[in-house]
Structure 1
Amino acid sequence: MSAHVVIVGAQPVGLCTALALAKAGIEVTVIDPADDDTSSCQYVHSWCVLPELARLGVLADARAAGAAESQVRIHLADTGENIDFDLDVLRDDVEFPFNLHLGEDGLSSVLIKHLSEYRHTRLVRAERIASITQDQRGVVVDIDSRVGRQTFRGDWLVGADGTRSAVRRLLGVGFRGFTWRERSVTALVRGDLGAAGCHATTFYLGNHHGDDRTSALLQRSGPGEWVCAYSEPIVRPEESIGTRVDNTIRRVSENIPVTTLGWRTARMHRRTADTYRVGRVLLAGAAAHVTTRITGHSSITGFFDAFRLAEALQAVIHDAADTTVLDNYAESRRRVFIDDAAPLSTGRKLLLSDDPRHLGDELDRYRSASLSRSEQRELLLAGGEPAGIPTVFSRR
């Protein structure tokens, strides 16, 4: 093996990075820490990441495990109005004009299966990342595991271990931005929400119930199963979340019988690391940046972090470029998040807003686009990954 890359984080961002490197003949160790941030509950993967998953060789298996869905609806419960979109309008523009509906755990299982086919890879479970040290020759990672302290040495280290990233904290890298005074709630339910008029992805903009406005994002996650995601003020007591989840689901299902299978909550942040590179350590995904979990743009940007970082590391390891491409990765991906992904995500969040002015402006934009195929196409294409600056810009 020409080099060894250690990746902390066994969610899709870390696993995509690992698989791309393994396919290039690079030795990879993936460390799966017990405190990895798995609360994002991402169930839908955008059309714009699917060509890269195809190039990794995993899309066929992922489609077999999940479902391809193209329809998106905005439903206004107050009036019964529906604003509909169909990704099929992108058929002449993109390779896969649909989204992949598959739980994050399901996609991770597919990626791990493919990764296991390479003898020069391994997956290690960790209770805690204890320390990280580096010098000009490489990086040393100490972990605490069930078998005790273990040490791993690599030429490079990738931190893809989520919002609470131990890698980022051990590096002492700041995570600037703000935290909304809201928590996200993601519930998995079983029921026929299609009978309630829901498309595979539905923004349900609900009626007022006392102090509450019931608005949620509904996404089909599998046969007869749906994800219901919404936000609520952080001041509401945690001990009664379960009751509020049941009440919200009852309202958005419009009395279609449903069963709540489980739910998770998380704080909602809009933050980015001060830098995505410190020497031989690089950050990707939610370890590098995070925005509202409900809208998916942070997830899209995380996938492209993985794809671009794998390209850059391959170029460096195979002597096709010098290490400035890693600086380019760090600067380019941070700029894409700040200039594009974060504003797009905040704009989508306004669809679930209680602010009538902001909501009205957003709805008018979507109404206009839905009436014109060209405008609809333009709006949907804008929701994809911004190109940014090419990561690998120089070759020897």
Structure 2
Amino acid sequence: MDVLIVGAGPAGLTLGIDLARRGVDALVVERAEGLFPGSRGKGIQPRTQEVFDDLGVLDAIRAAGGPYPVRMVWQDGERVGEQPMFEPVEADEGTPYTDPLMVAQWRTQEVLHARLEELGGKVAFGREATDLEQDADGVTVRFADGTTARARYVVAADGGRSAVRRAVGVGMTGETVDPNPFLVADVRVTGLDREYWHAFPGSDGCFVALCPLAGTADFQLAARLPQGTEPDLTLDGIRKLVAAFTHLDTDDVTELRWASGFQPRAALADRFRVGRVFLAGDAAHVHSPAGGQGLNTSVQDAYNLGWKLGAVLRGAAPETLLDTYEEERRANAAAMLGLSTGVHRGEVRRGKATVQLGLGYRESSLSVESRTAPAGVRAGDRAPDGTVDGVRLFDAFRGPHWTVLGAAVTGLRSLPAPPSYGPGVYLVRPDGYVGWAGETTQGLREYAARTGALVAP
């Protein structure tokens, strides 16, 4: 096969979808017997909504969740005030999605899995990768049951304790974000309305919060516990925790559906590529859950890598194109780790800083800006939405192809550039970023040839 993806989380499923629509022979393998059952990464940021729009799953994602509620703060059994969760971000023609969506992670993964199967892709469950060997032509992966699989490339999307990352000898550098342990759980609760995200602050910065999970009958419980406490993940332990911090009784917690305890930390893999093996998602970066950056950064890892693997595998671009995955995504992940930590510590507000619409690749070797005095959108920037000649740009971008704005180029989909972009000619990458910008088309074909843009996906 061409690509073996280890891990059926958000990164692995997204990559599987992107490769399937490119006709790449890929397989996703997952250690567990089924998809992840919990709500953990529940925030879908606006930039990820744009990715999901392109991948054909945004309507299903919207149907699976809903908007974030306002936070209601409680003290001694009384409501003492409301707090908006996010600073507002104003929508315009270029940024149609500005509000995060709340979708339980298990529902996001169900949607992605269904789309993967619709495109002819597959997840093989119960396949635990334990080790691998790579040579000049490919990678042989060994599984816990003694079987092996061979692929030209392997992508580790198997989480923060990645077996594949360990197998290729890549370390992670990081720090503890908070000295206190945390607990997160999906529960059924009576006695609370579902209009608010209910917060119950305690002493010494500890708290319990109960958030109604849009699209489900559950609440997500999140708790910061006293230092030295061992999270009790049993139904009895959750009930005692809720009764200790809130006005609810133990019996008001009627069901425990999933629970996890963790120590918030931030860590970044020392490398994102070792030969024919790539790291993506939590295998490459581990975030505090604050600010909703981890799942979104993982999805965008896959979105960056997919078109590059596709171009190299079909012989449209040199193998060196794959080096730009680490160049672009490791720097991006480092920035998102800093942001997540800042939100966790109360140094950064949720809002414009966390929606990920301002992320780009201006410093990348793939971003070529040849105009002498560029104004507006520049090479490396996210390509904004807009309308030209009655065509919505996001509709024109949708699919595994490149798009030219501002000139007609044979072999590429071409449209006029909207005035909002500024003067120039723009070549938009398959992942929605401007790869090349010039005053005329001079140099565009040379750039397109080395990146695979002129060969049909």
Compute the TM-score of the two structures, normalised by the length of structure 1.
0.79
**Structure with larger RCO (C-alpha < 8 A, sep 6+):** 1
Compute the TM-score of the two structures, normalised by the length of structure 2.
0.69
Q: Which whole-Å CA distance do the structure 2 matches of 1:239 and 1:226 have between them?
A: 18
Deviation by residue 1:46-97 (Cα, 9 ceiling, x = unmatched): 2221111111111222222x22205443737489232325677433253223
Name the counterpart of 1:275.
271
Gaps of 5+ in 2: 368-446, 450-457
Q: Which whole-Å CA distance do the structure 1 matches of 2:23 and 2:240 have between them?
A: 52
Larger deviation, residues 85-94 vs 304-313: 85-94
Distance 1:35 1:126, change over 3 A: closer
SS in structure 2 of the partner of residue 73 of structure 1: strand
Q: Which whole-Å CA distance do the structure 2 matches of 1:157 and 1:95 have between them?
A: 35
How far is 1:113 from its partner?
A: 1.6
Q: Which whole-Å CA distance do the structure 1 matches of 2:236 and 2:290 have between them?
A: 20
More helix by share: 1
Name the counterpart of 1:108.
109
Deviation by residue 1:191-238 (Cα, 9 ceiling, x = unmatched): 367638624xx6x36132xx6732547352434421111232562135
Name the counterpart of 1:176.
173
Q: Give the AA of the match of 2:318.
A: D
- How many residues align? The count is 359
SS in structure 2 of the partner of residue 348 of structure 1: helix
Name the counterpart of 1:54.
53
Q: Which whole-Å CA distance do the structure 1 matches of 2:212 and 2:296 have between them?
A: 16
Confirm or deny: 8 A CA contact 1:47 1:99 kept in the other structure.
yes
How far is 1:395 from its partner?
A: 3.7
Name the counterpart of 1:161.
158
SS in structure 1 of the partner of residue 325 of structure 2: helix
Name the counterpart of 1:354.
none
Alignment of structure 1 residues 113-128 onto 2, 5 Å? 113-119=114-120, 121-128=121-128
> Sequence identity, in percent?
28
Q: Which whole-Å CA distance do the structure 1 matches of 2:101 and 2:191 have between them?
A: 18
More strand by share: 1
Confirm or deny: 8 A CA contact 2:88 2:351 kept in the other structure.
no
How far is 1:124 from its partner?
A: 1.7
Alignment of structure 1 residues 356-375 onto 2, 5 Å? 362=347
**Are 1:335 and 2:323 an aligned pair?**
no
**Are 1:312 and 2:338 an aligned pair?**
no
Note the aligned Cα RMSD (angstroms): 3.2
Q: Which whole-Å CA distance do the structure 1 matches of 2:339 and 2:285 have between them?
A: 14
Alignment of structure 1 residues 1-396 onto 2, 5 Å? 4-34=2-32, 41-64=40-63, 66-73=64-71, 75=73, 77=75, 80-84=80-84, 89-92=89-92, 94-119=95-120, 121-145=121-145, 149-179=146-176, 180-191=178-189, 195=193, 198-199=196-197, 204=199, 206-208=201-203, 213-216=206-209, 218-233=211-226, 235-238=228-231, 245-250=238-243, 254-255=247-248, 257-262=252-257, 263-338=259-334, 340-351=335-346, 362=347, 380-385=351-356, 386-389=358-361, 393=367, 395-396=448-449
Confirm or deny: 8 A CA contact 1:193 1:253 kept in the other structure.
no
Deviation by residue 1:338-393 (Cα, 9 ceiling, x = unmatched): 2x211211122124xxxxxxxxxx5xx86xxxxxxxxxxxx622112252326755
